Amino acid sequence: MSRSVNIPEGYKSHLSLRETQHAIKQIKDTFQQSLSFALTLDRVTAPLIVPKDSGINDDLNGVERKVEFSIKEIETNAEVVQSLAKWKRMALYRYGYKPGEGIYTDMNAIRRDDNVDNIHSIFVDQWDWEKVITAEDRNIEFLKDTVRSIVKAIVYTKRQVTLRYPQINNPINEDVFFITTQELLDKYPDLDTKAREDAIVKEHGTVFIMGIGAPLSNGEPHDGRAPDYDDWSLNGDLMVWNEVLGHALEISSMGIRVDSKSLASQLKAANAEDRMKFEFHKLIAEGTMPLTIGGGIGQSRLCMFLLEKAHIGEVQASVWTEDMYKEFEAKGITLL
């Protein structure tokens, strides 16, 4: 299990193990209610597994291995989801949701090829959400307004947790700074991607970095994005400054989803036009699938940030190497 773990000198959790568990529940209860209200979302049940070769599972960057297994009474193998980016949009279509209406769900996934460090685990838990929009909503200002609503829900949740645990008092900047990936590259041409993120988020506190997936002027994308869910010109990552670890922390990846035009161009750019054989892609191409905006908000990431924890294993139960358990125990960190 590869890792790059940094435990800050002198770090000590503000909360006991039991207090941490109570606080995690408070955060999850409060935030999902706030998010649901802010974006007009219904909670729905979502799958942990999907049929292999259905085209529904998230391909992430296209190279990550999915967890696959056979089922005794079904000929087709199943896969554990990596995210629900495509499933959510299909659900809105099947359930008959209209513009202005949407859904959210507790998404649990396994990403076996993720590198494990302070903020990454092979177990992924998110609030995955998706909302039907109109063609007129497919613009940057609508995207920004949605980001602001999510940040307000995070800030409200922080206030509620701080009332109960006043020792947790690192501030959150509610005023979101928006910047495109090309503007960010132009501002810091000599820094790599992560260093650029750290620099801009340290300066502004809460930042939404827009336009992820397409190559920039240096010939490289800011980060990888599958070509068949986000519109690369209308998406982004929401980041906050993590004072405990001293770097930017991505809380959410989100965006306005592809329409028929952007799907065709992005599949071509990614040399992935073979995906047009799937029902999901055909429905988008023919204009039958509703236009949507959506994203994922990391549950453990948010808990880690709001509770000022140094490692994601302090707020979620996952699998770690034996030496990691010993190392953290020696430094006073309890992994769930």
Q: Which residues are catalytic?
A: 58, 111, 126, 237, 250, 253
- Rounded CA-CA distance 273/331 in Å is 50
* Non-local CB neighbours of 238 within 8 Å, separated by 6+ positions: 147, 150, 151, 176, 206, 207, 208, 250, 251, 252, 253, 254
* Non-local CB neighbours of 171 within 8 Å, separated by 6+ positions: 205
**In whole angstroms, how far apart are CA 289 and each of 96, 204, 283, 333?**
10, 37, 5, 47
Taking the alpha carbons of 52, 53, 55, 57 in that order, is the dihedral positive or negative? Answer: positive
- Rounded CA-CA distance 269/275 in Å is 13
DSSP letter at 277 equals G
- Rounded CA-CA distance 290/276 in Å is 17
The two beta strands, 206-210 and 177-180, are parallel
Question: CB–CB of 103/41 below 8 Å?
Answer: yes
